[in-house]
């Protein structure tokens, strides 16, 4: 119990120490914040969620937006409501990870899994970003649990239906979850290949439940001449004919692996890509029954990941691979457990923490995060009480996101008249600016004099 408590403390310490100054508020957060405001203030409900990859991509369903509605409602629409949401998701992940892994592997497996997850710098970062991929690891663990339940009792129709709902729900969090859908189908087919008729009949319920999670998109398409369907077909047809670099994902995957093995080089990371399915095949050979099916399916999905991203032919981001982390960690832990090397694994984890400065950097202030953007806008408010004005954002490309929502949140009304004084938000700060960390605020003299007059009157 003491060991588990210490691991949980480490897990939550890296995720929530200084969280109010670490949390981001960029394009994604501003986008769903505006959707939530439309829902709560204007009763304008949405049928669309995130868009896949870019402006030419298709839409997923808006479940993430609706999950956040209570947090924004309780926080009066301020985006700091995202912090308790992050707490809740991470608590759920810890609970399900420990419960599922200890039930189907061992309690030691679950403790080491949680420890390795706690000290991975990439996961420390991703677990504190309020966006759709945050939920993917939780979805993987929940999917494992349902698959194991079905394996032990395949006749129970409700497990198949719930699995379909879960797969459909998390597919609408991020498109990478399609690999987990494929993993699930493979696991079920290889597990019940001798009962294929039973598998097919139950798979029908799974498929219907999966489709049910796309109802918002179906309704949207019926209202808008199948716009999203055309976007889906156009996206994949364009992917087929565009030029590809089958190695474009390698550098990103190298970064992904270095979060696991910080001392590794590019050569080792490329070798690791090929070693993973071989390693999984070895574990499948050594295991029996359900765990053999698990590792057979893991091997296939690892190979399909290599093929899939090579076919995609474009550079992804590191978080596109986050669905692999639970599989990789279980491979490593199960291998060490098989040969009774628990102590060695713990020592490696401790040395990893002591020698990895990047992990410590993850708990530092985010100079462009929500806290400082919010403070900058609150600093402007006193200068906006008298007279007309406008606000300009003199910031690098992509750094303007979040400011507009906060300006609107605090009810700061701009005149739109170009002859009125201009308050400038500068990044980096300019000479004579009010400094808010990396943000500078330039207040025109006309508005400054107003403040000074008010101060004199109050005296």
- pLDDT tens per residue, range 113-163: 998 899 888 999 999 999 999 999 999 999 999 999 999 988 888 999 999
Classify residue 323 by its DSSP letter.
G
* pLDDT at res. 343: 74
Pairing of strands 434-436, 422-426: unpaired
Q: What is the pTM of this model?
A: 0.91
Structure tokens at 41: 């203030």
Q: Could you write out the DSSP letters of every residue in 42-79?
A: H----S--PBSSSTTS-B---HHHHHHHHHHHHTTT-G
Phi-psi region of 417 (alpha: psi -120 to 50; beta: other; left: phi over 0): beta
Q: Which helix (H) or strand (E) holds 22?
A: helix 19-22
- pLDDT tens per residue, range 444-455: 888 876 554 444
Rounded Cα distance, 380 and 362, in Å: 29
Closest CA to 378 of 80, 17, 22: 80
Confidence band, pLDDT 50/70/90 cuts, at residue 61: very high
Average pLDDT over residues 288-301: 93
More confident residue, 104 or 257: 104
Confidence band, pLDDT 50/70/90 cuts, at residue 221: very high
């Amino acid at each position: 119990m003491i060991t588990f408590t210490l691991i949980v403390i480490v897990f939550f310490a890296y995720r929530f120490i200084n969280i109010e100054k670490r949390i981001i508020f960029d394009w994604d957060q501003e986008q769903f914040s505006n959707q939530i405001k439309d829902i709560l203030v204007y009763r304008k409900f949405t049928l669309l969620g995130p868009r896949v990859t870019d402006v030419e991509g298709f839409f997923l369903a808006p479940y993430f937006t609706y999950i956040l509605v209570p947090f924004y409602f309780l926080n009066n629409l301020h985006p700091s409501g995202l912090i308790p949401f992050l707490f809740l998701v991470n608590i759920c992940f810890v609970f399900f990870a420990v419960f599922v892994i200890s039930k189907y592997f061992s309690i030691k497996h679950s403790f080491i899994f949680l420890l390795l997850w706690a000290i991975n710098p990439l996961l420390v970062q991703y677990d504190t970003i309020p966006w759709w991929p945050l939920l993917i690891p939780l979805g993987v663990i929940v999917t494992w649990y349902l698959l194991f339940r079905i394996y032990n009792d395949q006749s129970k129709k409700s497990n198949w239906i719930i699995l379909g709902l879960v797969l459909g729900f998390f597919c609408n969090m991020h498109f990478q979850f399609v690999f987990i859908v494929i993993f699930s189908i493979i696991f079920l087919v290889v597990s019940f290949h001798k009962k294929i008729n039973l598998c097919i009949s139950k798979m029908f319920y799974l498929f219907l439940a999966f489709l049910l999670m796309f109802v918002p998109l179906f309704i949207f398409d019926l209202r808008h001449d199948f716009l999203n369907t055309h976007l889906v077909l156009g996206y994949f047809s364009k992917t087929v004919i565009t030029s590809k670099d089958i190695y474009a994902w390698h550098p990103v995957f190298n970064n992904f692996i270095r979060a696991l093995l910080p001392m590794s080089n590019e050569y080792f990371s490329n070798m690791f890509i090929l070693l993973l399915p071989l390693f999984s095949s070895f574990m499948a050979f050594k295991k029996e029954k359900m765990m053999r099916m698990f590792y057979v399916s893991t091997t296939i999905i690892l190979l399909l990941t290599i093929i899939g991203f090579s076919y995609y032919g474009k550079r992804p981001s590191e978080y596109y691979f986050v669905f692999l982390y639970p599989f990789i960690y279980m491979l490593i832990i199960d291998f060490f457990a098989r040969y009774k090397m628990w102590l060695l694994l713990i020592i490696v984890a401790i040395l990893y923490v002591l020698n990895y400065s990047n992990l410590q950097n993850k708990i530092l202030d985010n100079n462009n995060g929500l806290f400082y953007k919010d403070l900058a806008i609150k600093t402007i408010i006193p200068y906006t009480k008298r007279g007309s004005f406008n606000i300009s954002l003199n910031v690098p490309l992509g750094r303007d996101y979040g400011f507009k929502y906060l300006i609107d949140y605090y009810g700061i009304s701009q005149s739109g008249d170009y002859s009125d004084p201009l308050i400038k938000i500068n990044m980096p700060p300019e000479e004579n600016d009010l400094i808010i960390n990396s943000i500078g605020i330039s207040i025109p003299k006309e508005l400054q004099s107003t403040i000074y007059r008010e101060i004199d009157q109050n005296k």
